[in-house]
Each structure stands twice: as C-alpha cells, then as structure tokens.
A and B are shown apart, each in its own frame.
Chain A
C-alpha cells in the first residue's frame, strides 16, 4: 500500500507544477493584455509623423499626404482604437527601440530583448522612422522605406526565391542585430511593426504588390566606381576625417547619460557579422547607405569609391558574430571586441595626432 501514496504524491507534484506554470501563463497573458489596452506615449518624432498623416480612430481614413501631393481625395477603411495603439507602438519601436525617450525604458521590454547592445534602433537604417522624404515631401529612392517594404510583403524573395511573408522578412532584421534569439512570428513586436509599416503604405497610397524604388537601399556595387579597387586603409583615413567625430575613433558610438546619441558601427552594440550591412557579407549595401545618408547634413558629398572604402574599413572592425555562425566564431569575436579597442588605442597613441598617410 506504500506504493499508492507515493504515486499519488508524484501525480500531485506534476499536476501542481503544471498548474503553477498555467497560472504564471495567465498572469503573463494579463500583462500583455494590459500593455495592449494601455494608452501609448509617443516619442516626439512619432508624434509629428503620425499627426502629419492624421492617424486617428474612425470608420474611414483619408491621407493628408495624398491630398497634398496629388490633390486626390482617397478614402480607405478606418482604424479601430486598438489598431491605432498597435500602429503607435510600432512607431515607437521604430523610433526608439531602446526606450531612451520613454518614461520608463522597461516599457519596450518586449522589443528590446531581441536586439543586441544598447544602441540599435530600426530608425538607424530605416531613416526618418522608416519614411524618409526631402523638404518638399518627395519620397527618396533607395531610402529603406517600410511602406515600400510592406507592399512587397508576401512576394517572392529575390535572393532565395522563397515566398517571404513580411513577418519573416522582418525576422531577418532581428537575425542581423539580435543577440542570439529572435521573436516568435506571433509576438506583439512583429504585429506592431507590421501594423506601422502597413499604415505607412496606406498613408502614402502605395499599392500592394508593386515594386517602388523607395524599397531597400540604392546599392553601390564595384561597377558603380572607377574600379580601382576598394582600400580599407584609405577607408580608415576617410573614417577618421569624416565619421569619427560622431561615431567615435573606433566606431563604438557616443553615449551620453546611458543614451546612444550616435550609434556604434562596430563592437558589441553594432550590427552583427551576418548583417547585410556588413561589407564582408554583402559589399554593396553599406556603401549605398553611406552615400545616401552620411554625413547628416552633407548627404551626397562622398564619392562612390569613398563610401566603398569606408564600408570596407568598417567591415574590418571587430563586431559580434551572427547567430548562425556558431559558438566558436562568437567566442572569437567576443575576444576581438574585448582586446582590439585598447590595443588600437595604444597603437594610435604611439603615432600621436599625425595623419596616417603622409601627403606626398
């Protein structure tokens, strides 16, 4: 008879552990529900952007942008209060993924944990909160527009030929910058960012299935230069001259009060080795980004070859390994990221402030 109480005890133990986990799940679900129901505190950038597109709950939606640019009056199905909150949350994530501008940084806990380091936010690459325009309001070619990306959702990926839902394309961004795991495709994070991108495409009146030139980065392949070859030594020189003022001498970014004022382009806080921004991975994307967007205020001042050289130099700086490269590469990169900055600083202190190249 001693066996029966023992069995009962075992069953009771298992059931109570499973029941405890279920109660924990109920509690966490309630937390998510509270988050979905709570009013959203917008960042200044998002406030301006969404007000400009007149986002509000209602039965119909009509974009002021389309009215202004084309004098057309187009109405679309409106957004519920819940939709509006999702779009606002998505915009906040885009503008300020790390929660630097939020009242409480833990507000973005469900997004921040999938991204490596304390600098990265979507806005760094998808500039102007995923919707870059010139002063007249014209959208810019190759500006990584999220609206143009959404309308190409569920199209065949041109690299792999696979049917690529927007969620999975978004996942590739987390792979590029993530710290070892990426969100589940059903996470609120994915839904909110998708909701925001989708709203942008409605506000700009972009048509689903069309390819717009705003999508992606206008790449600069070697064929767009005089083909004298990429040179990371020259890239280092240019970086010192043009970029180091903001991004720091070794591209580690500038942080004030725990907030990244200028993001890192190397080291543990920057994009990983698996990213398409990494010159060693795809050698035409980063040059394109630099030529289009850098330095701020003087965009377009760099030659194509300059951008390629700078991107090549960035590719030689130590950065975190990608998720698919395995633990050995990750450990090696960690070592490099720890050892190289002080070594480089020491080596440069020997040279002093003399330029790296003597002007012959």
Chain B
C-alpha cells in the first residue's frame, strides 16, 4: 500500500495525458464493437464489447509496443461470419459454440506462428507501400461501409465488390435515407470538424461530435418522438455484466463441423497477424521506435486463446484506433488499458447514457476516422518511385476490388518480384580489360553477367573480373567463376581483401583513366594473396566434378 502511495506521483502525470485519449478510444470502440459483432460476425453484441474490454486489456498487457492498440476488427469479424454461415444458424447456441471454437483454433494457429520463428518472419515480407495502400483502402472502405448506418438504412451483409455496393448505398442515402438520421449524422460531422480547427478542442473533437449528435437526437426524440424519427440507438446494454465465461464446442458430434471450419481458422489467424504486424511496424516507424513483430504475434496469439473463454470476438491490431491514439498523442499501452477500464465502467454504470447515443452519430465518427487514415504525406513518398507507386496502387485497389487478404497477396507478389528483378539485373560494365560487376552473382543474375562476359573475352586478352561491389555469390556463381578462371585465364579483383581498399576505391572513382593500371596492380596482388584461396576453390570444384562422375 505504501509502495503504491509512493509510486502515485510518478504514475499520475503519465495517466493525466492519456485519460482523454482513453475515454475517446472507449467511446469510439463501443459502436464498432457492437456493429462488428451483430452485423458482421452474427454474434450477440456482448461479444464485441468483451473484445473491446478484455481483448484490448490483454494485448495492452502483453504487447510492449507503445503504438499497438488491439480489439475487435472488421475483417476478422467478417471472417467469423463468412466461415460459420454454412455451419449453423446465426445467433444460435450452436453457432456461438462453433464461433468460440473457431477463435480458439485461430489463436492456436497464431501461437504456432509465434513459436516457429521462420513462420513469423514470413509476415515481415509485407512492405511499407503495401501497408499504406491497405490503410488508404480500409479508410475508404470504412467511409463506404458507414453510409447505410449514417442514413438509418439496413446494412447489406453479403460479401460483394465493395465499390459497386458503395455507389448504390450512396444513391440509397440520397433517395430514401432516413432524413432525421442524416441530420443527426451531419450535425455530428460538422460539430466534430469545426471543433478540430481549434487547437484547444482538437482532442475533444470526437466526443464533441458525439455529444452534439446525441443532443440533437434527444431533442428530436422529445419533439417528434422516437417512434416517428425511427433513429436506431445503441440500446440497452444492461444484461452485459463484468465477465461472461464460455467454453468452445469440442465433442464427437461437432468434430466434422470443426474440421470443416479449419481453413476458416487459418484465414482468421492470418488476417489478424497480417494486420497486427503491418500496423505495428507502420506506426512504430512513425514514432521512431521498434518493437519485434514476434512480440505482437505472441500477444495476439495468447489473447485469442484466452478470449474464447470470455465470450469475446478475436482481437488484432486496429488501424483506425491506432491512428486515433497516434494523432491524439497517447501512449497506446496506457490508453488501451484505460479505454478497457472506461468501457467496463461505462457498460456497468452508464448503460442508460450509452443507450441513447444514436447509431448515425457513430457512423459519422467512423467515417471521420476513415478519412483521417488517408494522409497525403504518407502517400506522396510512394508516388515518387515508380515501383513503389505500382505496389501501393495494387495494394490500394486490391482492398477495394478483392479484399484485405487479396491486397496482401497481390502487393507482396509485386514487391518480391521487384526486389528479385533488381537482384537478377546486376550492373555489368567493361572498362578497358576490367569487367566490373555491381550486384549479386547467383543463378538468376549469371545470364546477364555471361552475356557481357562473352563479348569481353572475345575482344580483350587478359580480362580481369572486378567483383568488389558484389555482396552475395551463391555456389553456382562460385562454380562459374572457377570455370571462367580455369577456362579463359581471367584475373579476379576483389578490393575487399586489400588493406587499403577504401583509399583505392576513392582513387579509382577519381581517376577513370588510370583504372586499367590500378586494376592490373590489384590483379597482381590478388594473385599473390589469394593463391591459397583459389587453390582451395579449384580443389573443391575438382572434387565435386569427380563426385558427380560417379
């Protein structure tokens, strides 16, 4: 107790800066949690709320990153709904049981990714333009997705091409949206946008927006009457208590169904990990910090193994809420824990106030978050380089035309193809009798080198291959070099071996005309110094040739 009292003066200032961020986070997470569980996953609303409480808390405790913020997630919730659609009727007891099993399986698969290091490292191959493309795509997607709720219309839950749906949702809003809902949404948007323009109110903008929307909705309720406005509200969360233990289904009758949802579990696990790793890396760089992605994977995996025991949706990083914490300048570990705490308090004690928050106001806030995720400062650097621009656009468009998974696959294939192309095209130049290779010597780049090499040996007598700018030579490259040496009596230059290679490299750059002389000197020294090395190489090649004859 005394220790706590002593620690308080240090803890309190840290808390004070994050209190508002935590409160905003809680207010923003709540409608998302309810919407994700009911409209996407086909589960009762308390699943989303518990994910926003326990999922956020577990990841905040387990993940050391200062930018990570977990909780319920759009794509993961949608994946739960899509996977279980053929298995059982939504909202039913069986369905809930299978949902818990599915989440547990996904958690166990994620645990494998945490334990087997190369598997986890595979997730690092997602490059920055891919992530930024995904972020922009998700931002737009959030705007589109909120359109129907913004206008008090039913949500289309079918999975289709989002852009077409977006256009027709927009027309639906214009033509027969609930005008009261639209007014509430617009007032929320305008209040929040105006508040953002004043530095003193900037952090309060979202709360001000929600408050304005809720007051207008309450005003409409008292003048026109809720039965006439027909505006949907969050509603009574009274039944949601402190904790709601649950057990995944696992018995002999359920086994065939559990086996049938295994591919869905793999997808669910990967969707979560992709987002966690990508979001953590992107946001860590923004604040100039580094956290090993393995820790993120581990915290997600453990959380997702525990959450099915607490009636909760799965958790993973949330781009939009991490943006929120980042833009408000909070420390996400503290704010996440605070937000979980606030949410618990709100659900337990303020259920009456939450109940009258109108859904259109919530949709307006989610739209704002979506727009804020598209930042020109982040996009511009990618557009400068043609390759990055292509990867960025591919990832961005894939989110809109395919899905998140498709964006990762298309973007990764493009990025890996580009880097492989780079490696397979070393710069080979012939100056005098020196053939200089800048890049890798490996099976992929050898044909490029060979084409210049064979032109060179036809013209020049004593050819010298300078591979001081090579940083990787694979066994095939070694064999080719050995064969070249043996067959055409070429000399090798590797300035990395010499004692004064830096000075020589500088001199080489300065005096182009003297290249040849310097290279010959290098070749002489190389012959002298590397006699033993070459002898070894020759012996190894010979040995191998003899072995292969057997």
Contacts and interface: CB of A to CB of B under 8 A. Distances in A.
A22 B175 contact: no
Contact of B176 (A187, A324, A326): A187
Contacts of B158: 171, 175, 182, 323-324
B173 interface: yes
Nearest to B156: A184
Given A29-B176, A186-B153, A18 B161 contact: no
Contact of B168 (A156, A184, A188): A184
B168 A186 contact: no
Q: Is the interface of B mostly helix, strand, loop or mixed?
A: helix
A335 B499 CA distance: 65
**Residue among B160, B173, B401 with max Cβ neighbours from chain A (10 Å):** B160
A156 B158 CA distance: 18
B176 A186 contact: yes
Contacts of B218: none
Given A162-B90, A182-B158, A11 B172 contact: no
A159 B389 CA distance: 46
Contacts of B165: 181
Interface in A318-360: 323-324, 326-327
A48 interface: no
Interface in A258-292: none
Contacts of B296: none
Interface stretch (B30-38, B187-195, B232-240): B187-195
A64 interface: no
Contact of B190 (A18, A26, A175, A183): A18
A207 interface: no
Contact of B156 (A163, A182, A327): A182
B197 A11 contact: yes
A161 B160 contact: no
Given A25-B179, A161-B89, A162-B89, A184 B172 contact: yes
B390 interface: no
A323 B159 CA distance: 9
A156 B89 contact: yes
Interface residues of B, number: 34
A10 interface: yes
Contacts of B90: 162
B351 to A, nearest CB: 27
Q: Is the interface of A mostly helix, strand, loop or mixed?
A: helix
Contacts of A161: 88-89
Given A15-B190, A31-B175, A22 B153 contact: no
B182 A25 contact: yes
A29 B175 contact: yes
B405 to A, nearest CB: 12
A28 B182 CA distance: 14
Contacts of A138: none
A74 interface: no
A160 B89 contact: yes
A82 to B, nearest CB: 15
B153 A181 contact: no
Nearest to B176: A32
A248 interface: no
Interface string B75-88: 00000000001101
B168 A324 contact: no
B179 A184 contact: no
Interface string B149-178: 000011010111100110111001111110
Nearest to A22: B186
**Residue among A11, A160, A186 with max Cβ neighbours from chain B (10 Å):** A186
Nearest to A14: B193
B176 A185 contact: no
Given A161-B89, A326-B402, A180 B161 contact: yes
A105 interface: no
Interface in A11-48: 11, 14-15, 18, 21-22, 24-26, 28-29, 31-32
Contacts of A162: 89-90
A183 B179 CA distance: 19
B56 to A, nearest CB: 31
Nearest to A24: B174
A227 interface: no
14 contacts: A7-B197, A18-B186, A26-B179, A29-B175, A29-B176, A110-B175, A160-B89, A161-B89, A175-B158, A180-B161, A185-B153, A187-B176, A324-B158, A327-B161
Given A18-B190, A188-B176, 14 more contacts: A7-B197, A11-B194, A25-B174, A25-B177, A26-B179, A28-B174, A29-B177, A181-B164, A182-B156, A182-B158, A184-B148, A184-B153, A186-B172, A324-B160
Interface of B: 85-86, 88-90, 148, 153-154, 156, 158-161, 164-165, 167-169, 172-177, 179, 182, 186, 189-190, 193-194, 197, 401-402
The 7 A-B residue pairs with the shortest CB-CB distance in the complex, in nearest-first order? A185-B154, A184-B172, A181-B168, A181-B164, A28-B174, A180-B164, A7-B197
